Amino acid sequence: MFPAPAHPLCVEATLDPRLTRWKWLVKWILAIPHYVVLVLLQVAFLLLSVVAFFSILFTGRYPRRIFDFNVGVIRWNTRVNYYANAVMGTDQYPPFTLEDVPGYPIRVDITYPEKLSRGLVLVKWLLVVPQILVVVLLLTSGWKVYRHLDDFYSPFSSGLIGLLTLVAVVILMCTGRYPKGLFDLLMGLVRWTLRVLVYVYLMTDKYPPFRLDMGGSEPVAGVVEPAGSG
């Protein structure tokens, strides 16, 4: 079970203690079958998000089946990235499924919103511009502002996340250990990026906080500490 999260999006991850020194060099090749499938899933994700937009605009509801499918796409995509692209925190090959896999080292879930604002759906793209600017830095190397989801399908991650992941796996190669501090930071960046993604794609009305919740575990509702506390 997932803990009670401070945000509708819940991302839980564990760092594989048995990471090999060299496997990260070929993971992007091993993940090619996933990337082929994810390209098709991305098309479906975008088309269904348009359907969801009009449903929210006229009814205030995100169709449940579309929501579950889109959560599955984000879940699948995140597993592949965790394995082969961003973080590279496991050597366990990701499964070909939209469903939650409790035994996999990273899990993603989003609380279904029973009701969404019909008016907010028209301006979310504008409200999230400051967050998008942050995501551009974290996830991409420059101009892909409203296409930040696309970079998740590339075998190479650019931007700060890609750079820090490269540093982490080079340290792994040299020492046999993945630095825990970098893992915690990378998970905070990934979590921030995904929060922006689900807001942009209308899956929640909760504005993503300007807060770096680091580590593999989500902060529990009511006990979120400000950055730098303790």
Instruction: Using DSSP, state whether 104 is helix, strand or coil.
Output: coil
161 has a pLDDT exceeding 60: yes
DSSP string, 49-91: HHHHHHHHHHHS---HHHHHHHHHHHHHHHHHHHHHTSS----
pLDDT (tens digit per residue) in 25-35: 999 999 999 99
φ and ψ at residue 109, rounded to 5 degrees? -145, 155
Q: Tens digits of per-residue pLDDT, 167-215? A: 999 999 999 999 999 999 999 999 998 999 999 999 999 999 988 899 9
Please write the tens of the pLDDT for every residue from 30-81.
Answer: 999 999 999 999 999 999 999 999 999 999 999 999 999 999 999 999 999 9
User: Max alpha carbon distance in the chain (Å)?
Assistant: 56
Local confidence band at 229 (pLDDT 50, 70, 90 cut-offs)? very low
With a CB cutoff of 8 Å and minimum separation 6, the contacts of 61 are 55, 114, 115, 116
